[in-house]
């Protein structure tokens, strides 16, 4: 028989063990319940976040608060860096959704981009008054009113820069340092009627080390109205190459074709979307005038040689036998290698096979008033006077000082067809800017090697 004291002790011990087991079981049951609490959603608090932007501002998540909610009602703050937050398109005014995602749960909030296109000066910088086959209508960028649109400068040097003496720059000045995202500027112009298929040429250069994709840095609009009717002029695919001129500027033309100019008051405006932007010299409007992609740039004391085939040859007329023999396409020049007098032939080749009606053109570009003497280098084995067979024009005015010289030379029996004779077309005063040079064949054919443009001192009668 067990004594009463021992039994009491055993009973007490058993009771305590059961109590411990119950407590342990109870603790396990509580832990399981907590483990069943799951992440259920996120809540966005935009009280202190930026939800209204002025056009041109960058998107920011500063002030946004993200809270994670669990099934048991508990919450915890989520760091912005731990969530995926979409970046809305800030380039067009209007309302945008911002998407916030955390652990597979998504919520959205809205921001508004307030349309803020500043005023443009109402003063017309050009008045288009009709078709002009000789010259383009030009706007100099130094005449832009940048104060009225509160344009910001990317440099303490200001917007307008003087070109050095080596740069063929219209007006000796150009627009630069406007590479501040959100800048908006432009000008007003008028037109006496609707003009279709006009051409706008932006004269640009770029100070970067690689080519600039223009549509990545700016937008252009002809008569911007609002976010729904922007009237954007596409710059897609347009590039500006970097400057590679040691003492000057490598100006290039960005050509926008097929433009319709409405009647009345118009604006051409630019919106800057990046820090890398081109320099801008001037803007030309070609109304009823053919844009010539060929250029001759002349400066004091230099001679420029231009191959016949490097002119604009859109209006070349090839002989039918040359077309049949060589498969020439419209506007294509037949290039013939010289077999005699090779050393006296520029690049060893010349142009031939064209006939009456041929017209080649180029633009003579000069930064200053100059006196220019022009030569043609041609060859013929028959009697041939340039004065009888060709006509030459500058800005539509017939050049009347062409040297009367018979260029006959060579021996066809010996296959000597390339005995070049240089003939002066005369000496003419040209004002600073662009001048349209045209050469037309009104008689019979000859071979042509080059044209030479020489800047000389002194003046003769101006083109007028």
- State what percent of residues in the chain have pLDDT above 70: 88
Q: Is residue 5 included in any domain, yes or no?
A: no
**Can you tell me the distance from the alpha carbon of 423 to that of 403, in angstroms, rounded to the nearest whole number?**
6
Residues 389 and 246 in one domain: no
Q: Is residue 25 included in any domain, yes or no?
A: no
For residue 95, pLDDT beyond 50? yes
Residues 64 and 210 in one domain: no
DSSP assignment, residue 418? -
For residue 27, pLDDT beyond 60? no
Catalogue the E-assigned strands of 322-432.
334-337, 349-352, 359-366, 370-379, 390-394, 397-398, 421-430
Residues 44 and 131 in one domain: no
Q: Shortest CA distance to 379 belongs to which of 276, 308, 305?
A: 308
Measure Cα distances from 204 to 115, 249, 345, 388 in Å. Answer: 28, 10, 34, 41
pLDDT digits (tens, 9 = 90+) for 29-42: 444 444 578 999 99
Q: Region 328-341: what's the mean pLDDT?
A: 89
Measure Cα distances from 354 to 163, 329, 358, 385, 441 in Å. Answer: 41, 12, 7, 17, 9
Residues 196 and 307 in one domain: no
Q: Region 85-95: what's the mean pLDDT?
A: 85
Name the average pLDDT for the chain: 87
pLDDT digits (tens, 9 = 90+) for 195-246: 999 999 999 999 888 899 999 999 999 999 877 788 999 999 899 988 865 5
Q: Region 427-432: what's the mean pLDDT?
A: 91
Q: Could you tell me where the DSSP H helices lie in 230-328?
A: 320-326
Residues 268 and 399 in one domain: no
For residue 4, pLDDT beyond 60? no
Q: Shortest CA distance to 250 belongs to which of 198, 295, 290, 300?
A: 295
Are 378 and 448 within 8 A, CB to CB?
yes
Residues 341 and 450 in one domain: yes
Picking from 91, 114, 137, the residue at the C-terminal end of a domain is 114
Q: Shortest CA distance to 429 belongs to which of 403, 406, 407, 460?
A: 460
DSSP assignment, residue 123? S
Of residues 43 and 167, more confidently modeled: 43
Residues 220 and 309 in one domain: no
Residues 325 and 408 in one domain: yes
Picking from 237, 269, 286, the residue at the C-terminal end of a domain is 286
pLDDT at residue 100 in the model? 96
pLDDT digits (tens, 9 = 90+) for 97-140: 999 999 999 999 999 988 767 789 999 999 999 998 777 899 99
For residue 463, pLDDT beyond 70? no
- Both ends of the chain: CA-CA distance in Å? 145
Picking from 114, 134, 152, the residue at the C-terminal end of a domain is 114
pLDDT at residue 31 in the model? 43
Residues 91 and 139 in one domain: no
Are 129 and 192 within 8 A, CB to CB?
yes
Q: Is residue 462 included in any domain, yes or no?
A: no
pLDDT at residue 29 in the model? 44
- Residue 458 — very low, low, confident or very high, per pLDDT cuts 50/70/90? very low
Q: Of the ranges 129-138, 302-311, 320-329, 373-382, which is most confident?
A: 373-382
pLDDT digits (tens, 9 = 90+) for 47-76: 999 999 877 678 999 999 999 999 999 999
Residue 402 sits in a domain of what CATH number? 2.60.120.260
For residue 305, pLDDT beyond 70? yes
Residue 94 zone, left/alpha/beta (φ > 0; ψ -120 to 50; rest): left
Q: Is residue 150 included in any domain, yes or no?
A: yes
pLDDT at residue 17 in the model? 60
Could you give the number of structural domains in the chain?
3
Q: Is residue 50 included in any domain, yes or no?
A: yes
Q: Region 274-301: what's the mean pLDDT?
A: 88
Residues 235 and 382 in one domain: no
pLDDT at residue 461 in the model? 44
**Which residue's structure tokens are 């080596």?**
166
Residue 65 sits in a domain of what CATH number? 2.60.40.3630
Q: Shortest CA distance to 141 belongs to which of 185, 111, 100, 104?
A: 185
Residues 263 and 323 in one domain: no
Q: Region 20-35: what's the mean pLDDT?
A: 48
- Residue 194 — very low, low, confident or very high, per pLDDT cuts 50/70/90? very high
pLDDT digits (tens, 9 = 90+) for 335-358: 999 999 999 999 999 999 999 999
Q: What is the residue range of 409's domain?
A: 295-456
pLDDT at residue 56 in the model? 66
Q: Is residue 32 included in any domain, yes or no?
A: no
Q: The tokens of 85 are what?
A: 């937050």
pLDDT at residue 442 in the model? 95
Residues 166 and 84 in one domain: no
- State what percent of residues in the chain have pLDDT above 90: 62
Q: Is residue 203 included in any domain, yes or no?
A: yes
- Burial grade of 367 (CB within 10 A; 0-12, 13-18, 19 or more): buried
Q: Region 160-184: what's the mean pLDDT?
A: 85
pLDDT at residue 144 in the model? 96
Q: Is residue 21 included in any domain, yes or no?
A: no
For residue 177, pLDDT beyond 90? yes
DSSP assignment, residue 60? -
Are 350 and 308 within 8 A, CB to CB?
yes
pLDDT at residue 225 in the model? 86
């Amino acid at each position: 028989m067990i004594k009463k004291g021992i039994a009491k002790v055993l009973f007490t011990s058993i009771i305590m063990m059961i109590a411990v087991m119950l407590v342990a079981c109870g603790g396990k049951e509580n832990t399981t319940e907590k483990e069943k609490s799951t992440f259920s959603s996120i809540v966005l608090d935009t009280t202190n976040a930026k939800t209204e932007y002025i056009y041109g501002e960058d998107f920011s998540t500063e002030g946004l608060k993200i809270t994670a909610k669990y099934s048991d009602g508990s919450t915890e703050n989520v760091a912005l860096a731990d969530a995926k937050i979409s970046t809305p398109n800030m380039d067009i005014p209007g309302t945008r959704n911002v998407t916030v995602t955390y652990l597979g749960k998504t919520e959205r909030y809205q921001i508004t981009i307030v349309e803020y296109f500043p005023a443009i000066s109402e003063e017309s910088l050009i008045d288009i008054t009709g078709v002009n086959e000789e010259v383009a209508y030009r706007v100099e960028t130094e005449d832009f009113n940048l104060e009225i649109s509160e344009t910001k400068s990317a440099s303490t040097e200001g917007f307008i820069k003087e070109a050095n003496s080596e740069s063929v720059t219209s007006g000796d000045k150009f627009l630069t340092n406007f590479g501040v995202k959100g800048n908006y500027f432009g000008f007003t112009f008028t037109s006496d009627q609707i003009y279709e298929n006009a051409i706008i040429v932006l004269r640009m250069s770029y100070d970067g080390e690689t080519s600039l994709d223009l549509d990545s840095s700016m937008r252009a609009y002809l008569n911007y109205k609002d976010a729904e009717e922007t009237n954007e002029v596409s710059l897609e695919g347009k590039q500006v190459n970097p400057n590679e001129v040691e003492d000057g500027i490598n100006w290039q033309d960005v050509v926008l074709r097929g433009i319709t100019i409405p009647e009345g008051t118009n604006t051409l405006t630019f919106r800057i979307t990046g820090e890398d932007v081109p320099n801008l010299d001037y803007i030309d409007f070609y109304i009823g005038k053919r844009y010539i992609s060929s250029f001759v740039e002349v400066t004091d004391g230099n001679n420029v040689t231009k191959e016949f085939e490097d002119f604009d040859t859109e209006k070349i007329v090839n002989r039918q036998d040359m077309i049949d023999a060589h498969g020439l396409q419209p506007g294509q020049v037949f290039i013939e290698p010289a077999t005699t007098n090779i050393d006296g032939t520029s690049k060893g080749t010349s142009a031939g096979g064209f006939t009456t009606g041929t017209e080649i053109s180029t633009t003579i570009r000069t930064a200053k008033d100059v006196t220019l003497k022009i030569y043609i280098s041609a060859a013929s084995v028959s009697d041939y006077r340039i004065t009888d067979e060709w006509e030459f024009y500058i800005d539509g005015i017939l050049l009347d000082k062409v040297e009367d010289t018979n260029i006959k030379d060579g021996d066809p029996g010996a296959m000597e067809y390339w005995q070049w004779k240089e003939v002066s077309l005369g000496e003419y005063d040209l004002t600073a800017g662009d001048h349209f040079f045209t050469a037309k064949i009104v008689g019979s054919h000859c071979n042509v090697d080059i044209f030479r443009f020489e800047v000389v001192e002194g003046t003769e009668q101006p083109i007028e």
